[in-house]
Amino acid sequence: MHADTIVLGAGIVGVSIAVHLARRGRAVALVDRRQPGEETSFGNAGLIQQEGIFPHAFPQNLGVIARYGLNTSLDMRYHLADLPRLAPYLARYWWFSRPRQFEAIARSYARLIAASVSEHAVLVNEAKADGLIVRNGWFELFRTAAAFDKAGAEAEWLSREFGVASARLDQAMVRQVEPGLKTGVLGALHWRDPWTVRSPHELTLAYLSLFRSLGGHFVKADARTLNQQASGGWTIATADGPLASRQAVLALGPWSTDITRRLGYRIPLEVQRGYAMHYQPVDGEPLRNWIADRERGYLLAPMLQGIRLTTGAEFARRDAPKTPVQLAETERVARQLFPLGVRLDPEPWMGGRPCTPDMLPVIGPAPRHNNLWFAFGHAHRGLTLGPVTGRLIAEMLTGETPFVNAEPFSAGRFAAL
Q: Which of 142, 378, 388, 393 binds ligand FAD (CB under 6 A)?
A: 378
With b meaning 16 or more CB within 10 Å and e meaning fewer, what string describes 372-399? bbbbbbbbbbbbbbbbbbbbbbbbbbee
* DSSP string over 384-410: HHHHHHHHHHHHHHTTPPPSS--GGG-
The answer to whether 335 and 287 have CB atoms below 8 angstroms apart is no
Q: Which region, judged by CB under 6 A, interacts with ligand FAD, from 6-14, 126-134, 140-148, 184-192?
A: 6-14
Instruction: Sketch the per residue contact string, 194 through 233, with ligand FAD: x for CB under 6 A, - otherwise.
Output: ----------------------------xxx---------
* DSSP string over 72-101: --SSEEE-GGGHHHHHHHHHHHHHHTSHHH
Q: Which is nearer to ligand FAD, 205 or 251 (CB)?
A: 251
Q: Which of 276, 337, 392, 394 binds ligand FAD (CB under 6 A)?
A: 276
Instruction: Give which of 41, 378, 362 is closest to 199, Cα–Cα.
Output: 41
9 interacts with ligand FAD by CB under 6 A:
yes
34 interacts with ligand FAD by CB under 6 A:
yes
12 interacts with ligand FAD by CB under 6 A:
yes
Strands 2-8, 241-250: parallel, antiparallel or unpaired by DSSP? parallel
Instruction: Sketch the per residue contact string, 294 through 333, with ligand FAD: x for CB under 6 A, - otherwise.
Output: ----------------x-----------------------
137 interacts with ligand FAD by CB under 6 A:
no
Least distance (Å) between residue 301 CB and ligand FAD = 8
Instruction: Give which of 113, 174, 135 is closest to 337, Cα–Cα.
Output: 174
Least distance (Å) between residue 114 CB and ligand FAD = 14
- Number of amino acids touching ligand FAD (CB under 6 A): 42
14 interacts with ligand FAD by CB under 6 A:
yes
What's the longest Cα–Cα distance across the chain?
68
Rounded Cα distance between 378 and 55, Å, is 10
Rounded Cα distance between 77 and 71, Å, is 5
Binding residues for ligand FAD (CB under 6 A): 9-14, 31-34, 38-41, 44-47, 49, 222-224, 251-255, 258, 274, 276, 310, 351, 353-354, 376, 378-384
